[in-house]
Structure 1
Amino acid sequence: MSALADFGPRDCPGTRPLEGHVVRVEPIVDDRHFDALFAAFAEDSTGGIFDHLPYGPFADRAAFRAWAEATYLADDIRFHAILPSAAGRAEGVAALMRTDTANGVTEIGHICLAPSLQRSRAASEAFYLIMERVFDELGYRRLEWKCDDRNQPSKRAAERLGFVYEGLFRQHMIVKGRNRDTAWYAIVDRDWPRVRSGFEAWLAPENFDTEGRQRRALAPVRESLAARQQGEAVIIPAPERS
């Protein structure tokens, strides 16, 4: 009998908030975070955080709220607000989208992080909490990450978080009047134990100093654990920003 003979449709992502060491992730079900998100996004005076998204920047609060009402609360997508504990407000969003419950597949996208949240411990933990929901709570088989091939920070983030590059979809989309070739990444269920172990070791309180700076970076921690399981010696490079 096939190993997937008994695989049945999975639930859609729910609305229970997710709590981490330094971040809270709240599925967006109403407009309570809209003003905070607008203020956080407006701290990027250049609007660069919207460069690779099909929308934004927004002229004013009213324009953002009208757009957010139609987008963040849409029925076919589950947006999450990311609230760093230190800030006490929403400073970013990420969505689970194109969810295929029959096959246990979903995609994390619409990622938009305020400058204060980018490359932070809170952002990394937020992604981990969402991954944990997808694989451990919901039992999905595959989580995808797709981005503009020119978006080097997004590609580096995908690889740092443990996603595996799967290929390039040429002329995949037209975004703001420009061609977009889309880089595809994914974590599948057999990857998840390795990715989860790396996150758990990296997120351990002892991996951060009194000012919250990481002692060891995420990707080397994950690689070290994987190599240790294979009986190999690994040298951990000097820390980088989290």
Structure 2
Amino acid sequence: MTRTNEYHQPIGEPVTDWTPRARPARITIEGKHCRIEPLDVTRHAADLFDAYSHAPDGSDWTYLFVGPFTEFDAFRDYLTKAAASTDPLHYTVVDSANGKAVGTLALMRIEPVHGVIEMGSVTFSPLLKQTRVSTEAQYLLMRHVFDDLGYRRYEWKCDSLNAPSRKTALRLGFEFEGIFRQAIVYKGRNRDTAWYAIIDGDWPRIRRAFERWLADDNFDANGTQRASLAQLRDADRD
């Protein structure tokens, strides 16, 4: 039943005992296959430039606000500005197997008063894409936002034409919410933005699916998954 106020107008459900949440900090988050570290130019720039150089072309940067970078100095300048930013707050993904930085991602549009935060600036190199490290990196930061910081809503936004990003959002458990037309101008062109989100009520089932997916027994001897994230989420509904 829809709640109404004293004027017989429909109103939202009460949010009791709510207080503004803390802003995310520059901390390291340890996982089994990777760790998430605050972006540090001195420690990460060379590894990241090398990791991105494994791509055959600059297409990984098409839907980002920056890049591609062919010269190290320009790339380092970009990282220096990114590392100094507090929103977006950039983190580096470090592969635990070799200690190398293989990609970055950021928490952004941070709204502690409302408990809303966005995952963005996902810049994963070919060494990171479609690996267990990639999925664990997303899980670690998502878990930090919901379990440690207590945020209510976790967003994913991308160019509506960016099919890989939209596919990834759905794979990770985000729910599609719509298209914001002519939302942004970047690189001299229009962006209609696709919005996705996970809310705190969704999170326990999504977290369980991540944990089951990342478990060693979900992979065969060749490292192939036995069950997908979507299958594990769907099974939890039964």
TM-score, normalised to structure 2, is 0.90
Counterpart CA distance in 1 for 2:17 and 2:105 is 31
Q: CA deviation at 1:31?
A: 3.1
* Aligned: 1:165 with 2:198: no
The question of whether the paired residues in 2 share the 8 Å contact of 1:79 and 1:94 is answered with yes
- Alignment size in residue pairs: 226
Q: SS of the residue aligned with 2:91? A: strand
Q: Is the 8 A contact 1:15 1:29 kept in 2?
A: no
RMSD of aligned alpha carbons: 1.4
Structure 1: 5+ residue stretches without partners: 228-242
**Are residues 8 and 34 of structure 1, via their aligned partners in 2, closer, same or farther at CA, if it must alter by over 3 Å?**
same
Structure 2 runs not aligned, ≥5 long: 1-12
1:81 aligns with 2:92: yes
What is the distance in 1 between the residues matched to 2:87 and 2:160? Answer: 26
Q: Which residue of 1 aligns with 2:223?
A: 212
Q: Which residue of 2 aligns with 1:137?
A: 148
The whole-number CA distance in structure 2 between the counterparts of 1:19 and 1:213 is 24
Q: Secondary structure at the match of 1:215?
A: coil
1:68 and 2:79 correspond: yes
- Same amino acid, percent of matched pairs: 45
Name the structure 2 match of 1:181.
Answer: 192
- Note if contact 1:30-1:73 (Cα within 8 Å) is conserved in structure 2: no
Q: TM-score, normalised by structure 1?
A: 0.89
Q: d(CA) in 1 for partners of 2:69 and 2:180?
A: 29
Q: CA deviation at 1:27?
A: 2.0
Partner SS for 2:101: coil
- Which residue number in structure 2 is paired with residue 43 of structure 1? 54
Query: Shift of residue 29 of structure 1?
Result: 4.8
Runs of 4+ in structure 1 off by over 6 angstroms are: none
Q: 2:107 aligns with which of 90, 96, 101?
A: 96
The one-letter amino acid of 2:129's match is: Q
Aligned to 1:32: 43
The equivalent residue for 1:15 is: 26
2:122 is aligned with 1:111? yes
Asked whether the 8 Å contact 2:179–2:195 carries over to 1, the reply is yes
Amino acid at match of 1:7: W
Q: Distance in 2 between matches of 1:111 and 1:193?
A: 24
**1:130-150 Cα deviation digits (max 9, x unpaired):** 000000000000000000111
Partners of 2:159 and 2:210 in 1: how far apart?
Answer: 25
